Amino acid sequence: MSALDTHPGEGRQAAALAEIREIVGPKGWLDDPEARAPHLTDWRKLYTGRAAAVVRPASTEEVAAVVRRCAEARIPIVPQGGNTGLVGGAAPHEAGTEIVLLTDRLSRIREVDPVGNTVTVEAGVVLQDIQQAAAEADRLFPLALGAQGSCHIGGNLATNAGGLNVLRYGNARDLVLGLEVVLPDGRVWDGLSGLRKDNTGYDLKHLFVGSEGTLGIVTAAVLKLFPQPRQVMTAMLAVADPAAAVSLLHKAQEASGGQLVAFELVPKFAIDLAVAHVEGVENPVGGDTGWYVLLEFATPSTESAFIDALEQFVEKTFEEELVVDGTIAANEAQRAGLWRLREAIIEAQDRAGAQLKHDVSVAVAKVPDFIAEATAVAEAEEPGVRVVAFGHVGDGNVHLNLVQPEGADGAAFMARSDALSQAVYDVVVAMGGSISAEHGIGRLKKADLAARKSPVALDLMRKIKRALDPDGLMNPGKLLE
């Protein structure tokens, strides 16, 4: 029986909740149903649950005291950061037996160290605020994603977030040097040394990165900083097809000496949707080709030769007819406009009707075949379906969204979603890919994980879960079944 199904004696639970209320104080206890409501549902509104309490501890010590009390009274806990996750991981279940533990008051940037190139932050710091603090110290914190104005670093680490700059700087896992974690029994693991070299056995921090709140609560982290870019070049280039895009990727890496930070593939159909549905968005590139690449180079060097070489590179891709049209941002406003267009395609798809999202990855070289095959199976399964395959192609990560056929009944389309998703996942798995590249598993994909991950890997994951959280109190019913 999981912790979710248990009904702790009402008296015992009530006593524990009263003590927890004392621990977090009035500012740390959400009573008002209106204030609680946004924390009981996920960003996509796929799941809406209930909670025994919604608490906001203000320090690691308070988190530890709350968790200890919950462990004693067998109360399950759902950690929640910015609640921007896309797989329902931070929403409580319908039973109402869990407490939701918000990290928003763990909001201190403890230290910026420009010599060691590190920043030490608490779990509830908003990603954008870390980027800003790094910039103020003339450094770069490179994790960047659409939700950066709301997501918390604790959530980024718990989901091993990816985003736009993974190509050059890696994902959240690659950016972390140390963690502080409150374990399911309430003990605190202080792994904040921030050492760049430390081979003293198992690297525990990596157990918690990507664990989606199922092994403990991240309360603080030491993160890597990098030199600030001094020169940036952003371009949107039209290409014939995804194969041309992958060829362009390779050439762009070579021409820039590895200083390519972002490489996003977007089908023209998605750009057209964005221009049609989202105000203030324009497509500065003509061309009748079906695909665009948004790419960005950045270097800490101030040598003008860098930009000259890139301009020559772009010219050459035109001469070779690899690129058929395009624009290079001439100033910051134009650069922002290109990124706005990239963000707008997500908003636009929502307005085009019901859609089924997939966040998958395959080897970069296989991206063109994957897009072709997945499109073919989706169209065979659902004639008229509109396929929007876009995303971080430089990392082999495709967001394959299936938008309902024009004029069709959205609810009927979604009722067939499982057959469509399984057809797409069959293609992914046959190509040796992953059914979740960056958004994680949460509640949404746990059945798919159980069906698709190797039995050996699943066995190891379950053993780790049982070793750290034997009573199953940490975000039960998420990630693992």
Residues that bind ligand FAD (CB under 6 A): 43, 78-86, 89-90, 103, 123, 145-147, 151-152, 154-156, 158-159, 161-163, 212-213, 217-218, 438-439, 442, 475, 478
Comparing CA positions, the residue from 114, 111, 117 lying closest to residue 195 is 117
Rounded to a whole number of angstroms, the minimum distance from the CB of residue 8 to ligand FAD is 21
DSSP string, 272-311: HHHHHHSTT---------SEEEEEEEEES---THHHHHHH
- Coil, helix or strand for 2? coil
Rounded to a whole number of angstroms, the minimum distance from the CB of residue 209 to ligand FAD is 10
- Which one, 43 or 269, has the nearer CB to ligand FAD? 43
Q: Give every CB contact of residue 162 below 8 A, 6+ residues apart in sequence.
A: 145, 171, 172, 392, 395, 397, 437, 438
Entry field: residues in the chain:
481
Rounded to a whole number of angstroms, the minimum distance from the CB of residue 296 to ligand FAD is 14
- Which one, 323 or 338, has the nearer CB to ligand FAD? 338
DSSP label at residue 434:
B
Q: What are phi and psi of 386, to 5 degrees?
A: -100, 115
Rounded to a whole number of angstroms, the minimum distance from the CB of residue 101 to ligand FAD is 8
d(CA 56, CA 49): 18
- Which one, 265 or 310, has the nearer CB to ligand FAD? 265
Q: Which residues of 447-470 are buried (b: 16+ CB within 10 A; e: fewer)?
A: ebbeebbeeeebeebeeebeebbe
Rounded to a whole number of angstroms, the minimum distance from the CB of residue 70 to ligand FAD is 14
Rounded to a whole number of angstroms, the minimum distance from the CB of residue 157 to ligand FAD is 7
d(CA 468, CA 207): 10
Q: 242-255 and 305-319 are packed helices; what angle lies between their axes, rounded to 10 degrees?
A: 150
- Which one, 267 or 442, has the nearer CB to ligand FAD? 442
Comparing CA positions, the residue from 153, 137, 297, 148 lying closest to residue 225 is 137
- Which one, 90 or 130, has the nearer CB to ligand FAD? 90
Rounded to a whole number of angstroms, the minimum distance from the CB of residue 439 to ligand FAD is 5
Which uninterrupted H or E stretch holds 99? strand 99-102
Rounded to a whole number of angstroms, the minimum distance from the CB of residue 95 to ligand FAD is 17
What is the CB neighbour count within 10 angstroms for residue 246? 21
Which uninterrupted H or E stretch holds 118? strand 118-122
- Which one, 23 or 102, has the nearer CB to ligand FAD? 102
DSSP string, 129-186: HHHHHHHHTTEE-----TTTTT-BHHHHHHTT---TTHHHH--GGGGEEEEEEE-TTS
- Which one, 154 or 337, has the nearer CB to ligand FAD? 154
CB 402 within 8 A of CB 382: yes
- Which one, 326 or 391, has the nearer CB to ligand FAD? 391
Rounded to a whole number of angstroms, the minimum distance from the CB of residue 184 to ligand FAD is 11
- Tell me whether residue 340 is exposed, middle or buried, using C-beta atoms within 10 angstroms of its C-beta: 0 to 12, 13 to 18, 19 or more: middle
Residue nearest to ligand FAD (CB): 155
- Which one, 78 or 244, has the nearer CB to ligand FAD? 78
- Which one, 238 or 437, has the nearer CB to ligand FAD? 437
- Which one, 151 or 314, has the nearer CB to ligand FAD? 151
**Bridge-partner residues for 150, per DSSP?**
none
Rounded to a whole number of angstroms, the minimum distance from the CB of residue 391 to ligand FAD is 8
**Which residue type sits at 203?**
D
To the nearest 10°, report the CA torsion of 369, 246, 268, 423.
20
Rounded to a whole number of angstroms, the minimum distance from the CB of residue 363 to ligand FAD is 19
